[in-house]
Amino acid sequence: MAEYRTHMKIIGDILATTRDDLQDEDGASVTYLIRKANISHSRISAILKTLVSQGLLEKVDNQGSNKYKISEPGREFLQAYYTFTNFADNFGLSI
């Protein structure tokens, strides 16, 4: 049986990619994030818009293409997310 990722897990994957796995210092392109997060363009577009509006990601215009970088609040959110998921895993909880 396939295991589906939660919306929070997808957000965590996107934030982690923009923190740890950048193509270059300018940020990650939408195409790169689609590949790394393994979700559709329409779904990631909506998530990226929300993450930018909440201040967790920064949108950078780089020679006509948009790239995304994690912000300081995004780093703090990601750390809290990891802390919570580790806590939940220790108690056998599914998030």
SS3 at position 83: helix
Is 94 contained in some domain? no
Residues forming a β-bridge with 66: 61
Q: Which two tokens stand for residue 43?
A: 């779904």
Residue span of the structural domain in which 16 resides: 7-88
CA dihedral 83, 11, 31, 19 (to 10 degrees): -30
Whether 14 contacts 51, CB under 8 Å:
yes
Is 70 contained in some domain? yes
Is 95 contained in some domain? no
Q: Which pLDDT score is estimated for 25?
A: 79
Could you read off the pLDDT of 8-54 as tens digits, one per residue? 999 999 999 999 877 677 889 999 999 988 899 999 999 999 999 99
Q: At CA 32, angle to CA 27 and CA 35, rounded to 5?
A: 150
Overall number of domains in the chain: 1
For the four alpha carbons of 60, 61, 62 and 68, in that order, the dihedral sign comes to positive
pTM: 0.86
Cα–chain center distance at 43:
12
Is 73 contained in some domain? yes
What CATH number is associated with residue 74? Answer: 1.10.10.10
Q: Which two tokens stand for residue 55?
A: 């201040």
